[in-house]
Amino acid sequence: MVVYVLLFNARTDNEGIHAETMNGQNLILMFEHEDDATRYALMLEAQDFPEATVEGFEQTEIEEFCESVGYGYRLIPEGTLAVPPEHSLEEHLWDPDQPDPDLQPRDQSGDRPSDRPDEAAGGISQAELDRMRQQLEKLL
């Protein structure tokens, strides 16, 4: 199955994959549908992230990558409204303007903390839904 992930500086020596940090675990988001990934990338840009490229990969390839670098992954089902966390790390592990020869392609980028334990369990609280609605209204 093809899944879609967000890459920064795609197809360059300084390529990075978008990851979030949830409960101390770095997670790569894999979207089942390209439109959902594109929507998420636009929300990141609205939060002053660099432009992300949506790229399709075989799900097993992303899962193997995650295992090789010690990351987790999360599959976002088609039609799910995933919203980036409100806060990002003060210091990113990847610099979009600075190639680092020690980083392997698609190693790390834009890790973001999340204080949403309810999301990890699969549920979304009313407060979280209200926050999402406000963010979407700002995009319009």
pTM: 0.63
Q: Let me know how many helices (H) and strands (E) the chain has, helices first.
A: 4, 7
Domain ranges of the chain: 2-139
pLDDT over threshold 60, residue 90:
no
Among left, alpha and beta (phi > 0; psi -120 to 50; other), residue 23 is left
CA dihedral sign, ordered 131, 133, 137, 140: positive
Average pLDDT, the chain: 76
Pairing between strand 25-31 and 16-17? unpaired
Over residues 48-87, the pLDDT tens digits come to: 888 999 999 999 999 999 999 999 999 999 999 999 887 6
